[in-house]
Structure 1
Amino acid sequence: MPHNLKLHKSTFRSPTEPIHIAGSKSESNRLLLLQALFPELELANVSNSDDTVLMAQALASQDSLINIQHAGTAMRFLTAFFAMQENKTLTLTGSQRMRQRPIKILVDALNQLGARITYLNANGFPPLQIEGKKLSGQTVTIHAGVSSQYISALLLIGPKLKNGLQLKLTGQITSTPYIQMTLELLHQIGVETHISANTIRVNPLKKALKTTIQVESDWSSASYFYSLIALSPVGAQIALTNFKKISYQGDAALAHIYKQFGVFTSFHNNKITLKKTNLVPSNTTISLHLANTPDIAQTIIVTCLGLGLSCKLTGLHTLKIKETDRLVALKTELEKLGASVVITTNSIRMAATKTILPDVCIATYNDHRMAMAFAPLALRTDLTILDAPVVSKSFPSFWTDLKATGIRLS
């Protein structure tokens, strides 16, 4: 694949076969860690994303230096996992951006349990030196308002602690569906959990239920096809597999959210069909609070741009510590296309834009979601996506699947 990809103004075409979306990266990475703790688990439809491949390789590695590159989920989960691997000392590091992403809240929590983790460079940031040992603690207090992945990392190792885990959460809890996903996956393998006020208790478990777990396809990846259908004429439709009506993934909220863009979702035999049923009046303002679904914010605002709608998206404080500062990146790239955008520390507002400027080069900032979120604009104008292969972080077949919908690439 070329480093930069030209997307030519195209017309949507419904693929003849459903597009298969690989397993959820979020579910896969949680289950891989649980499988490492409980080897009797068997997994199916695991994500083929870079992040999941890196996670699997790290879990199997005997090396003393592990570099997980841009994989933020892996950094958080592996910090907790390796902290409890007795008699194993290693260095856990990542890309330059990863070394700028905070991890102090999680390290402090693990140290409360008796972990031995030190910073090799800047205080509070990777790289980390982790001296694996038996963790003797049980009760942890952690601030819940920065990243739900810190909480999930602790919950996932909870069943292997001698006395289980009692996790006390302070502050406003963020990205709650991801915590719920972790709890549901623990329940599937036989772990008992109890929630009371802001405390989660995880009981110890010696052996998982002998079971095969099928990973649901990734709803975040489905968002780009929702955007394509929203930008298409009434009647356009596409089928995607393998999705459930009752999902552990917070981004399943797409089915409800995209009704505002005239897209109806139907469920049948683990398949969803997205259909454009009506046009959206041009004076519509889309207002959404996305604290539980921040990963689809980029997709939604680009959909609004393509439809000439104004929007205000809030609850986005976690976007500043992702692969890039996504709020700044969005403002920069949307304004190249002619939009008027205002950002705060946790929100983004865009005025309705009548004309989208053509032949713009979209920078992606080592962020897979920047590349994929802007791609549906090929239904409106020519544009170039810089560093197109970055999509492999979560969706390696994205450009091939996009081409199947009639988008012309070169």
Structure 2
Amino acid sequence: GGKVALSGILRSDDVDLMVCALESLGLGIEANEDKTAVVVRGCAGAFPVKQGEIYVGNAGTVARFLTTLMAMQRGSVYEMDGSEAMRGRPMGELIDFLIKNGARFTFAKENGCFPFTMESSGLEDNVRELNATKSSQVISAALMVAPLLSNQYKLEFKGGTVSVPFVDMTLAMMRSFSPEGTFDYELRSESASFGSQGYREDDFSYEIEPDATAASYFMTLPLAVGGRCRLEGVFEKMLQGDSVYAGVLREVGLEVRATQVGIECTFADACRGGDFDFNDFSDTFLSLAAVSPLLSGPLTIRGIAHTRKQETDRVAGMANELRKLGQGVEESEDRLTIKPNLNKLKELGRNGLEIETYEDHRFAMSFSILGSCDLLEDGRSWLRIKNPLCCAKTYPSFFEDLELLRKSSTK
């Protein structure tokens, strides 16, 4: 295979885990000094190293995408494990799909979960159906290796899936990594199909979009501190489904407008609540829920049942933390209804409050935006974030960037 130069890479633990795993599988990867760009030497889908131990940490994309590609390797035996949290995240549906297509698994502890040993003689094309009701990543994982199996492929996922825009993003990127004019696809509610002549074999470059989920924290910031925040490279229409979060902020009362280079969010007046379905862009629900004490009316967030099986049970965790802040919270399997109580928050905040992050990067970053609010109107800190460095999973420099904004802000 040829070489692909990737730019705009997000420096994070998840990316480091993927790079480390690929290097241990024999791929040549060259990174620039700040690790925001890499050149990867392609291997046409065949890893040079057929045996080894791979650690995926708590990175769902690494766990699902890499496991599927490793199952393609003929005569391979791999031992795989993840963090304690990853051992509890849904892998069974993907593993069942791989078993039906010829891979063999031996589980060290619980069936369908890390750690396990996977043996393969190369993935077969026996079954083109899987259960994706808990995670759309299993669809993306199966689709990305499918051009190595067939030029015409249809994957069915009866019962639908969550975070559908991420499947569309996967297919769009597969088209970008294919020779021009050779890849077309159709995405429906319970299936995805494509025609392909295989992936590119030449050398090429690909620029990665800025992280729309990470941008959601700074887009929300004016709701907590007033003023406006401009973000470059982030737009309401991107490959990433989380970019539609801008529309939610507009509905709760922020002024959101496009600029020539990105997006600008401005606080205009008291922001209200509302009823929002976050199923397609659920990573951002914490960004809004965390600042809900500052809203003027009730907020309902629904379509989030699948987030109970992510880095932590995000629905229960958010409910717990908001209750600690004196907020009224009604919790059901797939939704939260929050009744803001700013006076209670101020009362509790005088003695200081502490947020548990559950080893979940999104809790640390979301509640840091709430903590930026001058709640006591005297500049004093009032909210403490436990284990803030868990944000290194996807955004190690988050707090440095937030501090730079504070120092450079003007009212």
- For 1:173 and 1:337, the matched residues in 2 are separated by 33
Q: Among the aligned pairs, what percent are the same residue?
A: 28
- For 2:189 and 2:214, the matched residues in 1 are separated by 33
**Structure 1 residue 312, shift from structure 2 partner:** 0.9
Question: Matched residue of 1:144: which SS?
Answer: coil
Residue 220 of structure 1, aligned match among 213, 219, 242: 213
172-181 or 268-277, larger mean C-alpha shift: 268-277
Where does structure 1 lack aligned partners over 5 or more consecutive residues?
1-37
CA RMSD of aligned residues (A): 2.1
Task: Give the structure 2 partner of residue 57 of structure 1.
Answer: 20
Task: Give the structure 1 partner of residue 332 of structure 2.
Answer: 344
> When the two structures are superposed, what TM-score results if normalisation uses the length of structure 1?
0.84
> When the two structures are superposed, what TM-score results if normalisation uses the length of structure 2?
0.84
Mapped contact 1:136–1:162 kept (Cα < 8 A)? no
* CA distance 1:41–1:164, change in 2 (3 Å): farther
Task: Give the structure 2 partner of residue 33 of structure 1.
Answer: none
Question: Matched residue of 1:184: which SS?
Answer: helix
261-270 or 297-306, larger mean C-alpha shift: 261-270
* CA distance 1:321–1:369, change in 2 (3 Å): same
Mapped contact 2:299–2:338 kept (Cα < 8 A)? yes
* CA distance 1:139–1:195, change in 2 (3 Å): farther
Task: Give the structure 1 partner of residue 243 of structure 2.
Answer: 252
**Structure 1 residue 178, shift from structure 2 partner:** 0.7
Matching of residues 35-114 of structure 1 within 5 Å: 39-62=2-25, 64-114=52-102
Matching of residues 112-151 of structure 1 within 5 Å: 112-137=100-125, 139-151=127-139
Task: Give the structure 2 partner of residue 396 of structure 1.
Answer: 396
Question: Matched residue of 1:172: which SS?
Answer: coil
Mapped contact 1:362–1:384 kept (Cα < 8 A)? yes
* CA distance 1:87–1:407, change in 2 (3 Å): farther
Mapped contact 2:270–2:296 kept (Cα < 8 A)? no
- For 1:255 and 1:194, the matched residues in 2 are separated by 27
322-331 or 284-293, larger mean C-alpha shift: 284-293
Question: Matched residue of 1:266: which SS?
Answer: strand
Matched, 1:272 2:263: yes
**Structure 1 residue 407, shift from structure 2 partner:** 7.6
- Amino acid corresponding to residue 327 of structure 2 in structure 1: A
**Structure 1 residue 70, shift from structure 2 partner:** 1.3
Matched, 1:377 2:365: no
Matching of residues 183-332 of structure 1 within 5 Å: 183-190=171-178, 191-195=183-187, 198-208=190-200, 210-233=203-226, 236-280=227-271, 284-332=272-320
Give aligned pairs, total: 366
- For 1:340 and 1:145, the matched residues in 2 are separated by 30
**Structure 1 residue 113, shift from structure 2 partner:** 2.2
- Amino acid corresponding to residue 219 of structure 1 in structure 2: A
* CA distance 1:149–1:224, change in 2 (3 Å): same
- For 2:261 and 2:216, the matched residues in 1 are separated by 17
Mapped contact 1:364–1:371 kept (Cα < 8 A)? yes
241-250 or 147-156, larger mean C-alpha shift: 241-250
**Structure 1 residue 138, shift from structure 2 partner:** 5.3
170-179 or 300-309, larger mean C-alpha shift: 300-309
Higher relative contact order (CA 8 A, sep 6+): 1
Question: Matched residue of 2:130: which SS?
Answer: strand
Mapped contact 1:165–1:201 kept (Cα < 8 A)? yes
Question: Matched residue of 2:256: which SS?
Answer: strand
**Structure 1 residue 348, shift from structure 2 partner:** 0.8
1:11-47 CA deviation, whole Å, 9 max, x = no partner? xxxxxxxxxxxxxxxxxxxxxxxxxxx5433211111
Question: Matched residue of 1:278: which SS?
Answer: coil
Mapped contact 2:294–2:340 kept (Cα < 8 A)? no
Matched, 1:405 2:396: no
Mapped contact 1:139–1:165 kept (Cα < 8 A)? no
1:277-297 CA deviation, whole Å, 9 max, x = no partner? 3333xxx43210111011111
* CA distance 1:277–1:39, change in 2 (3 Å): farther
- Amino acid corresponding to residue 264 of structure 1 in structure 2: E
Mapped contact 1:80–1:110 kept (Cα < 8 A)? yes
